[in-house]
Chains A and B, each alone.
Chain A
């Protein structure tokens, strides 16, 4: 079954925050992750995010892990590739043309932790915020409503389109199409009989959707939002704290802290 949303319904501090606050928080954490290159700082950041998720959102690591697995190949790649290219510094292993340095390993760890913390920063938002609140937050922060609606519809139609894609694949397989066989070029060509009907179906769906949306009085003028956003004291506090932390981080970074010295 296709999961349509990462949202996990819980009664928690983070869930109760205004989606705009969470959006800001998420961007802030993202920024911190990009600022520093020291593996210790990034490790602290990653650990901090996982703790926030556990304590403030009551989402255990086990729920996060399946989503982390998705980027695991990238993380492992960062971990392996950085040491190979960082050839100066304290040499640990030197064999034939391969030189592995302490700095290289540290850099590998740092970059994989950076990837992890950036992704968890976005997950923090997606796992604690319903998609409609997210879209509403964007609209209330100045995004045009029709763009917000477009985003919301795109998100809601993912499972339907995935379902159509699976049906098309089955129909073409029943006509003898073997997707697994052949080299890369042949494999890509084999997706043409799947992509064409999928694109046509998507266009048809979009045409019908536009009629349905028009028929439901879209574009009448001032609209009500059934869902209200409440920016409370709590949100002000969290946002304030986030501003302070981000400023401090930027100051420290400007002063040269938290950066890995490479020889």
Chain B
């Protein structure tokens, strides 16, 4: 059992408390999910559970954390390690050995366990995580495998509680699923799970208890149904509720159903009776005519912004792209999806010249990229990289955005004008003299978009623009991208976020093993179950709900309600 009593904490470098008077209890074998906007103190709370706070990270602590009768104030991290293990967001920062076996042995070696015992434990956890080659260099594993290895390296110390801080936020859908399968297995075996997670759909399916934290305080708690049924309250707190909760909330509000469902299964059973039985087959037939709503500008009608012709690419001997041809029309929003390693990034890196076509060619507004430098292409194709921390370097927001124009030798006065205009558009003007590192995650993301936008590219490539952002920040990015699209820019999204794809994309391209596996409208793609499962993809929850009920594939609530009302 982990019990947190009246806990407050302030970092020694901080100016105000990060946690104030948090109380919670996780029974042995429990499953607690922590949700809340970025900066609410969730990660800090995790670090108090295995004694990292106050032993490794210092500050002012009041209240108590007691893990299986050990008070974390009195017991050091290495004593608590056999009780509670912690897994962080980025697997790269938790793995440091030269082989899988060493990684797994490190914990029990520190505990001073006998060699035979260590080997037996390694054997056990390897079967749980499904990695066979114990000599492999952890760096060479896939993201999902790395995170499973990080979990396993904790498991070899035999803890009874596992704390995970957004363990899947940096993984592709396949990796995400494999990590959650491992957690399910562990929970079924009696392990307590404490999980920070943005994906409330996942939480609703699994957690026994949900705690909502904002500004360091618990603002709501209870079962997933209790918490996520309060749709308006959650939205106000900046928490995305499951898609089915939004739908059933709306229907409940209109008096059509009696209660709100938070899981897909529950929603299906709740709504099944509303639907006339014979409706199923009919609706599926009429789908193609109905689903045109909302999608616009198919590529054939506009001039092409990007044309890829028979592109193949290898890294060394490894083929990454194999004879890919595609066209992206000017003014389209196209989503490129697929698992990591399917060639998405390799493909889009050709658009701005970071990679050169060896076989095949790429045309940007009709001109071949072959004789153009990256800097020349930067005026046409803006490529926003995934992690803002991997490019922010200047002393102020203004200088950060100005960098691109300096590189393009734009005169001083024009630079000032253009930077100011872009900062206003991205709602960052008030921060122009601020140090970029002090911005929040969502602001940093807007900053890196601004620093590319300032070069005024007509094509914008966004790599995982919403990953790791909370509801409020992702909304601000989506609104910004919408506004940019309305200025007649072509937007290319590279992402694993299917809700983002469903909301924004006109067209989806699926890459698989370096080839274009499919292309189509979100309605077409998200209704093709075989295609989705072949590519380890999952349609947004609302689309799954509507197709389970026989309404075809609906991408948003309005569409769903429209279809439902038609049948009532």
Contact = CB atoms under 8 A, between A and B. Distances in A.
B218 to A, nearest CB: 24
A132 B78 contact: no
A177 B374 CA distance: 8
B28 interface: no
Interface stretch (B10-18, B101-109, B303-311, B413-421): B101-109
Interface residues of A, number: 54
Contacts of A225: 109
B158 to A, nearest CB: 11
Interface in B63-114: 77-79, 81-82, 85-86, 88, 90, 92-99, 101-102, 105-114
Contacts of B101: 226
Contacts, number: 179
A193 B385 contact: no
Given A175-B455, A217-B82, 10 more contacts: A152-B98, A156-B139, A170-B349, A171-B391, A176-B455, A197-B392, A201-B390, A208-B94, A220-B110, A226-B105
Given A156-B96, A200-B437, A209-B94, A171 B390 contact: yes
B349 to A, nearest CB: 7
Given A5-B98, A173-B354, A226-B118, A214 B391 contact: no
6 contacts: A4-B98, A4-B139, A172-B391, A216-B107, A220-B79, A226-B105
Given A156-B139, A176-B404, A226-B118, A215 B154 contact: yes
Interface in B362-383: 373-375, 378, 382-383
B180 interface: no
Contacts of A215: 50, 52, 77, 81, 85-86, 154
Scoring A174, A214, A225 by chain B CB atoms within 10 A of each residue's CB, the highest score goes to: A174
A212 B150 CA distance: 9
Nearest to A178: B375
B389 interface: yes
Contact of B452 (A131, A167, A174, A208): A174
B92 A205 contact: yes
Chain A to chain B: the 5 pairs with minimum beta-carbon distance, closest first: A176-B407, A208-B93, A217-B81, A196-B393, A171-B391
Contacts of B392: 197
Given A178-B407, A208-B90, A130 B98 contact: yes
A80 interface: no
Contacts of A177: 375, 403, 407
A56 interface: no
Given A173-B374, A217-B110, A205 B93 contact: yes
B298 to A, nearest CB: 28
B274 interface: no
Contact of B96 (A170, A213, A228): A213
Nearest to A134: B98
Interface of A: 1, 4-5, 130-132, 152-153, 155-157, 159-160, 164, 167-168, 170-178, 192-194, 196-197, 200-201, 204-205, 208-226, 228
B47 interface: yes
A239 to B, nearest CB: 26
Contacts of A174: 352, 354, 374, 378, 382-383, 385, 452
Contact of A218 (B47, B78, B113, B153): B78
A215 B437 CA distance: 27
Contacts of B137: 4-5, 156
A214 B50 CA distance: 10
Interface string B447-487: 00001100100000000000000000000000000000000
Given A171-B390, A193-B403, A217-B78, A160 B108 contact: no
A166 B551 CA distance: 47
Contact of B108 (A194, A214, A224): A224
Nearest to B111: A217
A130 to B, nearest CB: 7
A217 B88 contact: no
Given A170-B349, A174-B354, A218-B78, A212 B94 contact: yes
Given A132-B102, A155-B98, A174-B374, A168 B390 contact: yes
Contacts of B79: 220
A204 B110 CA distance: 24
Contacts of A160: 92, 139
Contacts of B107: 216-217
Given A1-B315, A215-B52, A132 B109 contact: no
A188 to B, nearest CB: 15
B316 interface: yes
Nearest to A192: B393
B109 A156 contact: no
Q: Which residue, B93, B137, B452, has most C-beta atoms of chain A within 10 A?
A: B93
A200 B393 CA distance: 9
A112 to B, nearest CB: 31
